[in-house]
Amino acid sequence: MEPLSIKSAQGVYPVSFDSTVAGLCGDLAQEIHSVVLIDRNVARLYAKDLAPLLAGRPVHEVSATEDEKTLDGCSRALEFLVLNNASRQTAVVAIGGGILQDIATFCAHVYFRGLKWSYVPTTLLGMADSCIGAKASINFKGFKNQLGVFHSPAAVRICLEFLRTLPDLELCSGYGEIVKLHLVGSRDKFEALASAVTRDGWRSAQLPGFVRESLTIKKAIIEVDEFDRGLRRILNYGHTFGHALESVTDHGIPHGVAVAWGMDLCNLIAVKRGILGEADFRQIHRLLAERFAFALRGAIDASALIDATRRDKKVRDNRLTLILLKEPGSLEIHAQDYGAELEDWVRYYLANLSIVKH
């Protein structure tokens, strides 16, 4: 597939596509002054293909958990850099999903005020969404994504072969962001995606195309507003309630599945507020309900959920900022008062429509 190039405040970086893990690793092994941060599961699953890259090079294995995506986890990675005498000439190669990416970006940003780093995403979410945009957030004092930095990679190398071992639920999570980006893109893009996955399931032969299309849609937004001051905020579609659900379930639901659920709830709010038409709501709901159904251990409490949104970075003057869909391809930013009306809508959604059940 054709590479992409992403313009950022720190320069232009390429996103290229490799066909095999072995070929990619052989290529990365050419770089002498590099250290590797890698997801422990990936290191185990791809030990043979990774050997030329990992042999004789400092390697820090990270367990991909939200507990590791904290100051403590970053401290371990920074200690690894110190113990291996990393200098400003050292390049960091990060291999893993969004968790590994967040830890690597944060550490590369603060170590000596910025190391060069490149990213090899191994989850669908990493490939189709988080690998571009330069954002990194880590959890702090039990709250998700509270501390963050912007630090662009020098290069992103995508190899879809990694998806062979990715569990279906993680694949589904990546599709949460893919559906979001296609809804941001246009009606045609969303409908093409919806019909392909309805017909062929998640492992559709068109998946590489969906990854590239998602990145193309995101690129057009982040190149205009890299630092989240205006347009980029629409990429938070589904995230306010998605993060709240992650929080009340103690991360008992994968990020992208929570985002799919958050989009569905926001779409209902958009219908109630006269912004989104019923027919569009139903068409999108059908896909989300069919493909993202998820069973939780306990019931979701509407008040606890709404309360959890108060930690959101987008709460201002005691009002929520919601990204609401007008129609596929068109999103708007709206303030939403806390109060009885919002509670009613959330309760109604949970009782009658929720794609996440217990």
CB 334, min distance to ligand NAD, A: 23
> How many of the other CB atoms lie within 10 Å of CB of 111?
20
Per rule CB under 6 A, is residue 136 in the interface with ligand NAD? Answer: yes
Per rule CB under 6 A, is residue 73 in the interface with ligand NAD? Answer: no
Interface with ligand NAD (CB under 6 A), residue from 22, 64, 78, 320: 64
Per rule CB under 6 A, is residue 41 in the interface with ligand NAD? Answer: yes
> How many of the other CB atoms lie within 10 Å of CB of 117?
25
Binding span for ligand NAD by CB under 6 A among 125-133, 193-201, 224-232, 322-330: 125-133
Interface with ligand NAD (CB under 6 A), residue from 77, 90, 98, 275: 98
Q: Which is nearer to ligand NAD, 232 or 275 (CB)?
A: 232
Binding span for ligand NAD by CB under 6 A among 52-60, 93-101, 106-114, 186-194: 93-101
| Cα–Cα distance measured from residue 355 to residue 89, given in angstroms and rounded to the nearest whole number | 49
37: which residues sit within 8 A by CB, 6+ positions away? 60, 62, 77, 80, 92, 93, 94, 95, 96, 100, 103, 104, 107
Residues binding ligand NAD: number (CB under 6 A): 30
Per rule CB under 6 A, is residue 135 in the interface with ligand NAD? Answer: yes
Per rule CB under 6 A, is residue 71 in the interface with ligand NAD? Answer: no
Interface with ligand NAD (CB under 6 A), residue from 34, 118, 130, 249: 130
69: which residues sit within 8 A by CB, 6+ positions away? 99, 102, 103, 138, 139
**Among all residues, whose Cβ is closest to ligand NAD?**
98
CB 179, min distance to ligand NAD, A: 14
Binding span for ligand NAD by CB under 6 A among 36-44, 71-79, 83-91, 206-214: 36-44
Question: Cβ distance 283 to 293 under 8 Å?
Answer: no
CB 97, min distance to ligand NAD, A: 2
Binding span for ligand NAD by CB under 6 A among 126-134, 220-228, 266-274, 322-330: 126-134
Per rule CB under 6 A, is residue 54 in the interface with ligand NAD? Answer: no
Q: Residue 265: name the closest of 324, 182, 198 by CA.
A: 324
Q: In terms of DSSP H, where are the helices of the chain? A: 21-28, 40-45, 47-54, 71-83, 98-110, 124-125, 168-185, 187-200, 207-222, 239-248, 255-272, 278-291, 302-308, 340-352
Site for ligand NAD in 212-251 (CB under 6 A): none
Q: Residue 265: name the closest of 176, 179, 350 by CA.
A: 350
CB 59, min distance to ligand NAD, A: 15
| Cα–Cα distance measured from residue 67 to residue 140, given in angstroms and rounded to the nearest whole number | 10
Q: What's the residue count for the chain?
A: 358
The radius of gyration of the chain from alpha carbons, rounded to an integer in Å, stands at 20
Residues within the interface to ligand NAD (CB under 6 A): 39, 41-42, 45, 64, 66, 69, 96-102, 122-123, 125-126, 129-130, 133, 135-136, 145, 162, 165-166, 170, 173, 255
